[in-house]
Amino acid sequence: MTLSEFEKKVNIKFNDKDLLKQAFIHRSYINENPKINLHHNERLEFLGDAVLELITTEFLFNKYKDHNEGDLTAYRSALVNTITLSEVANELSFNDLILLSKGEAKDVSRARSSILADAYEAFIGALYIDGGYEKVKEFITKTLLVKTDAIVRNGAYKDPKSLVQEKSQEKFGVTPSYRVVSESGPDHDKLFIISIHFGDEKIAEGDGKSKQEAETNAAKNALIKKGWSK
């Protein structure tokens, strides 16, 4: 997909085409292509992050008038986290547009999810500069905030460990347990793999730089495997 085709897909026409292109330039691409006349997208991401938080907060504040700030914060976190933003970016074909180094282009791991989420925020920053507040608000509403009802209805805003415990107790009458599968790497760069079990049944595994992160990812994978994440 070209940038022109992307503009047609989202029904947005940029006045500054270089600004649009910059939103999709990853730092690694600059390192391999130093003669390019544009910067990477991290400054735009910084701006877009703030714009995204404001518009999402405003939307939730107006939509859920009887909910307290704790609920609204949880809903916002579920909407603007890396997982949700990368899913939206995928739906918009950002993978076809992001300019990466050859090494980064081969990576399909969690790092790619982070790159996609960052690009979504960078695009928001670029659109805010080029089109203004109302234009970017319309884009965020159509692409991201439409997921709000499903996230709230299904409890996807809850901490994955809390949600998987709630679901496993409801469905099977058991409390999940976590076990360390492996631990590798030097002290400053550990990688933990942890499994989650319902009784004696192993449900899923997750990895992370800490045990807590690995347990959270194991819980997320268990929710996906059981079909409880939708």
Cβ partners under 8 Å of residue 205, min gap 6: 181, 193, 194, 195, 196, 218, 221
**Lowest-pLDDT range of 18-32, 103-117, 203-217:** 103-117
Going across the sheet that includes 191-198, the strands are: 177-184, 191-198, 201-208
* pLDDT for res 17: 95
- Mean pLDDT across the chain: 90
Closest by CA position to 104, among listed 25, 179, 178: 25
pTM: 0.73
> Domain 160-225 classified CATH 3.30.160.20?
yes
Comparison of pLDDT for 126 and 71, the residue scoring more:
126
Reply yes or no on whether the pLDDT at 110 is more than 80. no
Q: What percent of the chain has pLDDT over 70?
A: 96
Which of residues 185 and 51 earns the better pLDDT score? Answer: 51
Residue 229 has a pLDDT of 67
Q: What pLDDT is stored for residue 83 in this prediction?
A: 79
CA pseudo-torsion sign 112, 113, 114, 118:
positive
The catalytic residue among 49, 104, 118, 207 is 49
Q: Between 1.10.1520.10, 1.20.1250.20, 1.10.10.10, 3.30.70.150, what CATH number should domain 3-153 receive? A: 1.10.1520.10
Start-end of CATH 3.30.160.20 domains in the chain: 160-225
Residue type, 209: K
Q: What is the mean pLDDT of residues 132-156?
A: 93
Cβ neighbours of 198 (radius 10 Å): 19
Q: What are the start and end residues of each CATH 1.10.1520.10 domain in the chain?
A: 3-153
Catalytic residue among 45, 104, 118, 121: 121
Residues 170-211 have pLDDT tens digits of 999 999 999 999 999 888 888 999 999 999 999 999 998 889
49 part of the active site: yes
Environment class of 154 (CB within 10 Å of its CB; exposed 0-12, middle 13-18, buried 19+): middle
Segment 130-138 shows an average pLDDT of 97
